Structure 1
């Protein structure tokens, strides 16, 4: 069994493991609400729409985190504004902003001859190059997310299942929606430069969706999502070590694969009940 632990004898793999654990916890808290509210398309749009802000920040010599935060925040604000229109569905607004910001990002990138490597890092990250400062930043983001998730739990629950009742009870669903968008934005922005938008979206959706098939209580879904995210990180790092594959992409693939295994298990579990009826 030594082969399971050999990769983690290397310092940069251990750093990657800690980063994956923190991202898993962060994405479990935010991703559970993304799954329950059917906001997966929004999460995908925000993670890839950040390219515009990252590209502009990189070309201007500014910290790319600032560009990513402004870009993701701008998209979240745009979705909120377009969502008030009675003539446009929320998906339509998200799709328009997604396509528009991504296309502008590609145009900016195409004018920069030195951006090709940075674009690869944007999509796939470099989890094996995580530093102590990166881990500290993830820790702060996780702490903020945990506090907001705990304080906003009741409004988030009401918003997810019955927004009109939430309004009747005075829970201010509009404010809750903005806070929820803030959680998703924080999770994506805090993680993408370390593990790439591919891994962020994989851990944001895959583990919570897998856990939601088996659990009924929201805290249980979050706990299951965190555990599945950590398992995906460990398994992905081991596979990438021996198969010489991209670590971020491998972790994301494992996370999505666990969802399909969970879905298959749920189907087999329900099949005897359906036959019995």
Structure 2
């Protein structure tokens, strides 16, 4: 399918779900790209996976009650994030252990709840892998409002979140409320996950959080540039992924993730400073003969400078 045909379909009244799917995919990818920068800097990809599973009971309850999936998922995800933050204060167990407990428990609860609804097998597949059909207008507005709220909170607390992400102990020493900032970050991750579920699904939503941010991390040592490149990468992946999915009749969520992964692999190979092949091309001649070439990674200092 040509780009012209795709644009024609976007404005076709009989395919009203397509522009809504594109709008939600782009909005969620942009929000996930920005939130994902904090997730990547902090090395907490596991919490993104946990939250993606934690929202499932809320989705199930909303489906059974015929309510808003976005609102139901947000309530469940925020509640679980708060419980993880509270339980993590007991240093007897590490945070990753608690996340693992809540991950499996909440996902199992969601399966039990949704199994009580007739025809749950088809609904379960929709939740897990996403669907671009049947997106109501209220969810479009809810996703837009939630995305703006999330970006606003990140802008207001940007310096504090960066400080906690880079050095928790130093942040605690200078008087930052690390516990409450943890909760805010968990909630932001939850909101980013929830608004992405309908197009990309519960299984693949972690990719939107991690892959664009990881791609941007390879391309720049500056946090400001990283937080600009990540949403651009995510949004472009959503647009191209939806176009390819519509053209070749492939699953939307999987196609978007594959496009984002292709961008990551390209950056991993050809990034100006950190690309694997770029490093080999720029390696001094003496390195080929086994000389020791000292190297340092200025990325941490550059991030702190932002």
| TM-score normalised by structure 2 residue count | 0.82
Instruction: Decide whether the 8 Å contact of 1:202 with 1:253 is kept in 2.
Output: no
The aligned runs of 1:1-80 (5 Å cut-off) are 3-11=2-10, 12-80=17-85
1:251-273, CA deviations, whole angstroms, 9 ceiling, x for partnerless residues? 12211232222223211122345
2:123 match: 118
**1:61 CA displacement:** 4.2
| Gaps in structure 2 of 5+ consecutive residues | 11-16, 288-292, 294-306
**Range that drifts further, 97-106 or 14-23:** 14-23
The list of structure 1 runs, each at least 4 consecutive aligned residues, that deviate by more than 6 angstroms after superposition, is none
CA gap of 1:167–1:115, structure 2 versus 1, over 3 A, is: same
CA gap of 1:10–1:202, structure 2 versus 1, over 3 A, is: same
CA gap of 1:58–1:15, structure 2 versus 1, over 3 A, is: closer
2:302 match: none
Q: Give the distance between the partners of 1:241 and 1:61, measured in 2 at CA.
A: 28
Q: Secondary structure at the match of 1:112?
A: coil
**1:49 CA displacement:** 2.4
CA gap of 1:195–1:131, structure 2 versus 1, over 3 A, is: farther
Instruction: Decide whether the 8 Å contact of 2:81 with 2:186 is kept in 1.
Output: yes
2:14 match: none
| Gaps in structure 1 of 5+ consecutive residues | none
Q: Give the distance between the partners of 2:133 and 2:279, measured in 1 at CA.
A: 40
Instruction: Decide whether the 8 Å contact of 1:213 with 1:263 is kept in 2.
Output: yes
Larger Rg: 2
Instruction: Decide whether the 8 Å contact of 1:156 with 1:180 is kept in 2.
Output: yes
CA gap of 1:158–1:200, structure 2 versus 1, over 3 A, is: same
**1:62 CA displacement:** 4.0
Aligned length: 276
Q: Does 1:253 align with 2:252?
A: no
CA gap of 1:96–1:211, structure 2 versus 1, over 3 A, is: same
Q: Secondary structure at the match of 1:10?
A: helix
2:100 match: 95
Q: Give the distance between the partners of 2:248 and 2:24, measured in 1 at CA.
A: 21
1:50-90, CA deviations, whole angstroms, 9 ceiling, x for partnerless residues? 22222233224443334312221122012112211222111
Q: Give the distance between the partners of 1:58 and 1:147, measured in 2 at CA.
A: 29
1:119-166, CA deviations, whole angstroms, 9 ceiling, x for partnerless residues? 122122223544543332222122111211111011111101111211
